[in-house]
Amino acid sequence: MAVLCNPKPKVKWHRVGWTSHSIELYADTTDIHPVHRRHHHHSWSFADPSTARGYFHDLPELIPGSNDVDDNILAPHEEYHLNPKAYALAMAGDVEDIATAPQRHIYTYNPLIMFSSHVDGYVTESLRREGHGDAMSQRWKTILPACPTHIIQCWNGNYFDKVPLCELGLRYQVGHLTGEVCPHPWPAWGNHFTIINMNGIHDVTLDFCSCMQRHPFAMQLQGSWLFPATDTEPCTAITTVALEQFQMLTFMGKISAYEYYHLLDNFDAFICVVQEWSFVRQLKRAGVGNDGVWRAAKPGSCAVECLACPCPGVNMPACVDPDSPNAWESTLYIGIDANFYLERFNVSSEEKDPGSSKGLKTSTNESSNLRAHVVTTKLQKVIKEGPIEAEIWQPADQVKMDYGYLTTIRHFAGVPCIVTSYNIACQWSINLEDQIGIYGDIMQSNIPKKVYLVPKFHLPDHIKDCQEKYCMSFHRHVSENDGEAPEHSWAISNGVVASTREMGPGHRRKKLDQHFGDFNWQKNVSQGDTLLRKIKGTVPKASEHEDRFKHFTASLPQSDVAKWTKMVEVWEVDRNKPNLFAQTIASKTEATMRLQLAREDAQDEMARLDGDALHTTSPKGMISQGIQLESSQRRISHLNKELGPHSTDLQRVQVLEKANQLCRSVESWFVVQETHMPMV
C-alpha cells in the first residue's frame, strides 16, 4: 500500500477528507490473507493545491495493539493503527477522498452484547478511579469531570447566548493527567463528541491518547468519569454524576429513562449506558470486581442479602442440631408469591436482549438454567406419563416455582428448619418431595426439617381442614409472622410497571434487580430502628397477655389444663394427632343464616300452595328481608355521609332515590310483620 504525497515542506496543507478500508492482515506480517485478523487501515493522499504533481510515499509499518480481537468482529481503530509520526504527517497535509465501493454490514452490532466481553476492564477501572485513583493530582477528581460541561454565556449584542466550549477553542484530552500534553492525540471520530450531563447535552471536541502505552479508548473515558455508550469508536458518553442522579430518581420517584431523557433528549445512547453503568456498579459494590473475572461469579453473589436471616457460618454456627432446644433461633422463613400485575409485553427476545446479570442478583438466569430445567423436566414427564401435550405443558408454571424455591434453599445448607409460606402450600407441598427426586441431585438440599404453611391473609379462603393444618398461628416459633413478605415489596415494584412492561427481557430483569436491591438495602439499614420500635410495642403487650393467660388458666380445672397441655405438646410433634385447636362447632355467618332461612322458606312455600299460609311471604322470608333492609340502611347512610358541599346534583339525586326506595320497602315489610307478628 502507498499514498500520494507532495514532498514540498513549505506548502500549507489543508485536510479535505479521509477514508478507511477493511482488509485482512496477520498481526506479525503485512501479507494479505483471506481470513484472519481484521483491522481498519487508513489510507491518505496528499496534493499541492497549486499543482497537480505529486509523489507516492510508502505507509509506515502497522503497530499491533495489545487487545485480542475476535475473528468474527471488526476491531476498532485502536487495535491496529498507524505510526504516530505518520498520523501527525497526515494531519498536517492535504487529504483527498479515495473512492471506494460501499461495503455491506457483515454483522448486526449490539452494544450490550459487545459490552459483556469488556466488563472486567470496566469494573477494574471503576475500582481504580474510585479508590486511590491518580493520587498525584487530587484536584483532577473534582475539577476535570466538570470542565467540558460548563455552560458559557457570551454577549451577542442583544442578550447572553450559550456558547459551547469547543467554539472557544477547548479540546478535552483524556488518557493523561491534568496539565499533561499528549504527544500523539487522536481526535474523536468526526472530530465530534457528545457528553450527557445533569445540566444537558454538550458537544465537545475530545482527543484520545494514542501513545504506545495507551489504554483502550473506553477505559480512557472511564478514567475521566465518563461512561462510554459503546466500546467501539465511542462518540457519546455520560458523566457518572448524571448516572447516579438518574438511579436515585428512579429509586425514589420511580421515573423511567424515557421520562428522564426528555430533559436531555438523547435516549438511545442514554438507555444503553445506564444498563452498562449500573451493571458495573453492581459488580463493584458486591466485591465481584476484585477477582477480575465477573463470569466466574456464582448465582446470587450480587444480591443484597437480609442481615437478619440465618446464614450458616456468618451469623450462626455452620451446622445446628435440629433437635436442640435453641434450634428455632436459626429457622429460615421463606415467602412465595406471584405478582401478576408485574407483566411484560411480548416485545424483543432473549436473543436480542439477553441481559448481562445472568442470575447474579434476584432474577434467575431464565435464558439458560431455568429453561433448561423446564425442558428437562417436561421430557422426563413425557417418558413417565406418555406423550400427551396437555400433560406436558400443564405443570410448566409449577416447575418454574419449584426451580426458584429449590435453588434458593440450596444456599442455606446447615439451617435446621425452613418455614415456607405459600398461598397454595396445601396442594404444592404434597408432591414436592417426589418432584425433587425427578429433578435430580442438582436440586437436592440437606435441610433436616421443612414446614409448609399458608399466609394469614389467604387462609380464610381455604377449606376447614387446610385452616387447621396450615395455620401459622398454630405453629411454634412463628410468632406474629403473617407470611406475606413478598407482597410487602410490591408497592415498590408496581411503581415501575409502566416502564418495565415495554422493556426487553434482559433490560427488565436488570431494572427489577436494581429496585429489589434498593428495597433490601433500605430494609437492612433501617432494621435497627424497626426492631427497636417493635420491641417497645411488643414487650409491654407480652407481659399483659401473659398475666391474662395465667389468670384465665387459674380459673380452669387443673386436671383439664394438664390434659390439654399434653394434647398440644403431642400435636406439635406429630401433626397427624388430634388437634386441640380444631373448631368443633361450626360458626354461623350471615350467608349461612340466609341459606338456612331460604331452605325453610322453600318448605313454607310448599305449605302455602296447600292453602295453610297466612301471607305470600313466609316468616323466614320476612326475617331474611329484614336483614337485607338493615344492610341497605347502613350502605345508604355511608353514601349520605360522603356527600359534601362540593357534591354534584347527580350524586345527591342518586342517594335520595335510593333512600326513597328503601322507605317504600320498609313500609311494605311492616305490613308483612303485622301479619306474622301482630303483637309488635
Task: Check residues 11 and 370 and name the one with the higher pLDDT.
Answer: 370
pLDDT for 243 equals 87
User: Cα–Cα distance between 508 and 506 in angstroms, integer?
Assistant: 5
Q: b/e for 525-543, b at 16 or more Cβ within 10 A?
A: eeeeeeeeeeeeeeeeeee
**Residue ranges in 262-325 assigned as alpha helix (H):** 267-285
DSSP-derived secondary structure for 513-539: HHHHHHHHHHHHHTHHHHHHHHHHHHH
**Highest mean pLDDT out of 110-114, 295-299, 378-382, 484-488:** 484-488
**Highest mean pLDDT out of 40-54, 441-455, 523-537:** 523-537
User: Cα–Cα distance between 471 and 465 in angstroms, integer?
Assistant: 10
CB distance 238 to 195 below 8 Å: yes
Q: Which of 192, 552, 508, 158 is nearest to 361 (CA)?
A: 508
pLDDT for 15 equals 36
DSSP-derived secondary structure for 424-458: THHHHTTSHHHHHHHH-GGG----SEEEEEB-TTT
Residue 298 CB contacts under 8 Å (≥ 6 apart), including other chains: none
pLDDT for 499 equals 81
User: Cα–Cα distance between 243 and 260 in angstroms, integer?
Assistant: 11
User: Cα–Cα distance between 117 and 119 in angstroms, integer?
Assistant: 6
pLDDT for 533 equals 92
pLDDT digits (tens, 9 = 90+) for 419-430: 999 999 998 988
Q: Which of 113, 115, 108, 6 is nearest to 50 (CA)?
A: 6
Band of pLDDT at residue 146, cut at 50, 70 and 90:
very low
Residue 258 CA: distances (Å) to CA of 207, 357, 445, 500:
30, 22, 44, 11
Task: Check residues 586 and 411 and name the one with the higher pLDDT.
Answer: 411
pLDDT digits (tens, 9 = 90+) for 256-288: 777 776 655 555 677 778 778 888 888 888 888
pLDDT for 251 equals 79
pLDDT digits (tens, 9 = 90+) for 527-580: 999 999 989 988 999 889 999 999 999 999 999 999 999 988 888 888 788 888
**Three-state secondary structure readout of 149-164:** HCCEEEECCCCEEEEC
Q: What percent of the chain has pLDDT over 90?
A: 9
β-bridge mates for residue 160, sequence order: 155
**Highest mean pLDDT out of 212-216, 368-372, 523-527:** 523-527
Residue 28 CB contacts under 8 Å (≥ 6 apart), including other chains: 64
User: Cα–Cα distance between 27 and 198 in angstroms, integer?
Assistant: 43
β-bridge mates for residue 209, sequence order: 185
pLDDT for 633 equals 92
Task: Check residues 290 and 650 and name the one with the higher pLDDT.
Answer: 650
DSSP 330: G
Model's pTM, two decimal places?
Answer: 0.53
Residue 392 CB contacts under 8 Å (≥ 6 apart), including other chains: 378, 381, 382
Indicate the average pLDDT of the chain: 73
Q: For residue 157, is it left (φ>0), alpha (ψ between -120 and 50) or beta?
A: left
* Weakest mean pLDDT among 529-543, 616-630, 655-669: 616-630
Domains in the chain: boundaries: 1-107, 112-296, 327-525, 590-676
pLDDT for 385 equals 30
Centroid of chain to Cα 558: 57
User: Cα–Cα distance between 537 and 534 in angstroms, integer?
Assistant: 5
Write out the H or E segment, with its range, that includes residue 500.
helix 497-500
